[in-house]
Amino acid sequence: MSIWDNEKALKEAEERRGVLRAKGKRLAFDCLNLKCHGERGSCSKGHSLSKSQDGSVDMRIILNGITPNACRDCKEFSCDED
């Protein structure tokens, strides 16, 4: 089953992201530079989000509100609130 087909898991992940946002956390999910490629995500600015060969990250990580180290202090982080 694709991660996008599990509505219950997606709803739970959305709730977790809401809690983290309320705590003032920066989420890679909110960055406009994040690009989704099926079940993998990458940075359109070329930053490596993981140790994988192409620098992409499993979207389950992003959906659950986990922010890769590369995003935490990124000067190119961009979201609607910036």
What per-residue confidence (pLDDT) applies to 40? 96
What per-residue confidence (pLDDT) applies to 81? 58
Q: Return the half-sphere exposure (C-beta side, CA atoms, 13 A cut-off) of residue 1.
A: 9
Instruction: Determine, yes or no, domain membership for 10.
Output: yes
Interval 68-79: pLDDT, tens: 999 998 999 998
CA distances in angstroms from 72 to 7, 10, 12, 18, 67, listed in the order given: 28, 23, 23, 17, 7
Tell me how long the chain is: 82
Question: Residue 26 is part of which domain span?
Answer: 3-72
Strand locations in 11-71 (E): 34-37, 40-43, 57-58
Average pLDDT over residues 21-46: 95
* Count of the separate structural domains present in the chain: 1
Asked if 41 and 27 touch (Cβ cutoff 8 Å), the reply is no
